[in-house]
Every structure is written in structure tokens, then in C-alpha cells.
């Protein structure tokens, strides 16, 4: 299918092709620049949202808890935002988290994990797993159901969701009902066919992905660690039911769909949807395409079904 006309117009605008920044443009400067691209529309109404800091010993993480209603105990989703492990925050994904809570009927806990390169791997993963452990242990304190937990993330957040699911499996919990990976980063090699065919001209580039990986990985050896690069996992057996959303014109298309194939081969129940005419992380762009909210509704329905199972 041809590229959606809305994205043809978007990508023709100055500054819409992501490139490796020059040395004088630091990650903090990039983060401020990225705030200019927040959706310029009112966010969906939500029953409540609350910012807080969770602590476990000398570790802490900022989170935002969304509730679609006042029922308790509520199933909940840990959400990890994208941005190449370098960019974005709770506000950049506020719209998406509200939609996810409303469509799934679950509370959503967005995690404000530490960013690279200031804090490289495994810093972000440690924060995300801390949030999973904390809310599983303190679920009753927040009116949540520790027996019904999912993880979800977009782009680099999808990488973190996949890594949290692997870590939860290998460390004996907390148990997950579902993992939802939205245009996820899966493979540190950036060597797939779609990395070549979609690697320039569609906003996210192969060049910037390699730069993001260089910011995230603390050492070259981390590239082969499955908790950094899930494509390196020896086995994907015994992972929770999985939803994977991909975009036709995303450099990450092939690695995400290959991961879906590997999950199925390992006996995991997988629902994979390729959204035609879309570019990377389109689900964060409701001001550009109606497909953004449709994709979150699809994911929300998948998670809701797993929570009922």
C-alpha cells in the first residue's frame, strides 16, 4: 500500500527526518526540541491520573498512574515510553496512555525511567523492572490486582517491555498476563531488509537507530545481551500472550515480525498486526492519523481479553 498521504505531507516538512545530531546538540537539547512535536489536540478524558515516586530501598522511579474508572482491584498495565532510550517522558505519551487505559479497562502505570546516554543499559530496564516488582508487591495499597498484570511499550519502550517479560520469566515473576509491543526495537544489529528499504525517508532512519543503540549500550558486549537486544534470546518459550503492532514503512518492521514468528515457534500465543501506509510509531500521532487511536484500541482489546482469561 502507498504511504498514507498524511505522512507524505508530514515527512516533507523541515526537520521531520531524524538524523544523528552534531556534537553541539546534546541529548538534553534534543529532548527540549522533541517537546515541540507533542499532539496539539486535547487528550482523552480519563477518570483520574496521579504522578508519584515509588521507592524500594535506595532505588526509586517516577510513575504516572491512570485509572479508567474506580473499580478495584483493577488489572493494570506497566507502560514504557519510546524515544530511543534517549528522548521522551511521561508527557510525550500521555495521550496514548489515556487511550490505552480507556480501551483496555485497565489501570495504566507509565514509568519515567532514566534516560541514556547519561544512564546506559541496564538503567532503564532496572527502573522498569523495579516498577513491576513494586506494584506487584504493593498492589492492594493502590487498589490493583497483582494477578492481572501486563506490560506494554512503543519503540524503545517496546524493547523494554520485551526485556521485562524475559526477565520476569527467568527470575520467576512477577507473572504477566500479556505483553504488547508497539513498533518495538528488537535487534541491535540493525541488519534487517526493512532497515535497508525503509532506513531513509520515513522519519526514523537506520543511521539514528545505530546512534540510539550507541547511546544505550554501556559496552559493545551488551549488544548480545537478550535483555538489551531481545533478538539474542536463546528461547522465547513460556512468555505471556503477545500483541505486536508494526508499520509498513518502519525500518523496525522486519525485526518485530521476525520476533513474532519466533514467539509463535516457541508456543507463545501471538497476535501481530501490520498497519499499512503507516510509519514508525504512528500510534503516538493521533493528530496526524486516525489509525493511531485504532491501533491502541486493538491493543487494548487484546489486553482486556488476556485479563479475562
- Which residues have a catalytic role annotated? 155, 250, 280
For residues 174-203, average pLDDT: 98
Range from 25-34, 66-75, 81-90, 118-127 carrying the lowest mean pLDDT: 25-34
- pLDDT score for 34: 87
pTM above 0.75, yes or no: yes
The Cα 54–Cα 133 span in angstroms is 11
Give the residue numbers spanning the domain of 136.
5-53+60-113+121-308
What does the pLDDT look like over 171-182, one tens digit per residue?
Answer: 999 999 999 999
Asked whether the predicted pLDDT for residue 15 surpasses 90, the reply is no
Joined together, the cell numbers standing for residue 161 give 517491555
Supply the CATH number for residue 187's domain: 3.40.50.1820
Joined together, the cell numbers standing for residue 213 give 543503540
Asked whether the predicted pLDDT for residue 126 surpasses 90, the reply is yes
HSE of 254 in the Cβ direction (CA atoms, 13 Å)? 14
Average pLDDT over the chain, rounded to whole? Answer: 97
Asked whether the predicted pLDDT for residue 38 surpasses 90, the reply is no
The number of domains in the chain is: 1
Q: What's the chain look like in SS3?
A: CCCCHHHHHHHCCCCCCCCCCCCCCCHHHHHHHHHHHCCCCCCCCCCEEEEEEEEECCEEEEEEEEECCCCCCEEEEEEECCCCCCCCCCHHHHHHHHHHHHHHCCEEEEEECCCCCCCCCCHHHHHHHHHHHHHHHCHHHHCEEEEEEEEEEECHHHHHHHHHHHHHHHCCCCCCCEEEEECCCCCCCCCCHHHHHCCCCCCCCHHHHHHHHHHHCCCHHHHHCCCCCHHHCCCCCCCCCEEEEEECCCCCHHHHHHHHHHHHHCCCCEEEEEECCCCCCHHHCCCCCCHHHHHHHHHHHHHHHHHHC
For residues 262-288, average pLDDT: 97
Asked whether the predicted pLDDT for residue 101 surpasses 90, the reply is yes
- pLDDT score for 37: 79
Strand partners, 72: none
Cα dihedral: 247, 296, 303, 127 (round 10): 80
Biggest alpha carbon–alpha carbon distance for the chain? 52
Amino acid at each position: 500500500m502507498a504511504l498514507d498521504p498524511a505522512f507524505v505531507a508530514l515527512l516533507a516538512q523541515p526537520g521531520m527526518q531524524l538524523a544523528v545530531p552534531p556534537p553541539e546538540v546534546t541529548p538534553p537539547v534534543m529532548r527540549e526540541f522533541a517537546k515541540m512535536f507533542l499532539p496539539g489536540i486535547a487528550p482523552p478524558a480519563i477518570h483520574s491520573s496521579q504522578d508519584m515516586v515509588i521507592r524500594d530501598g535506595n532505588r526509586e522511579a517516577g510513575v504516572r498512574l491512570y485509572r479508567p474508572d474506580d473499580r478495584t482491584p483493577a488489572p493494570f498495565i506497566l507502560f514504557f515510553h519510546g524515544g530511543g532510550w534517549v528522548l521522551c517522558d511521561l508527557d510525550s505519551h500521555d495521550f496514548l496512555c489515556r487511550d490505552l487505559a480507556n480501551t483496555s479497562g485497565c489501570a495504566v502505570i507509565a514509568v519515567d525511567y532514566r534516560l541514556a546516554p547519561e544512564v546506559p543499559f541496564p538503567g532503564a530496564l532496572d527502573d522498569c523492572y523495579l516498577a513491576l516488582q513494586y506494584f506487584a508487591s504493593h498492589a492492594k495499597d493502590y487498589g490493583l490486582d497483582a494477578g492481572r498484570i501486563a506490560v506494554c511499550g512503543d519503540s524503545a519502550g517496546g524493547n523494554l517491555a520485551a526485556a521485562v517479560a524475559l526477565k520476569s520469566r527467568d527470575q520467576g515473576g512477577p507473572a504477566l498476563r500479556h505483553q504488547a509491543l508497539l513498533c518495538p526495537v528488537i535487534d541491535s544489529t540493525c541488519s534487517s531488509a526493512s532497515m535497508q528499504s525503509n532506513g531513509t525517508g520515513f522519519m526514523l532512519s537506520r543511521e539514528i537507530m545505530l546512534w540510539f543503540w550507541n547511546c544505550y549500550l554501556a559496552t559493545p558486549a551488551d549488544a548480545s545481551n537478550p535483555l538489551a537486544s531481545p533478538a539474542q534470546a536463546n528461547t522465547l518459550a513460556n512468555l505471556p500472550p503477545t500483541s505486536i503492532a508494526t508499520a509498513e514503512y518502519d525500518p523496525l518492521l522486519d525485526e518485530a515480525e521476525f520476533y513474532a514468528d519466533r514467539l509463535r515457534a516457541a508456543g507463545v500465543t501471538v497476535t501481530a498486526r501490520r498497519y499499512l501506509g503507516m510509519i514508525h510509531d504512528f500510534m503516538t500521532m493521533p493528530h496526524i492519523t486516525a489509525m493511531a487511536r485504532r491501533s491502541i484500541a486493538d491493543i487494548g482489546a487484546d489486553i482486556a481479553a488476556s485479563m479475562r482469561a
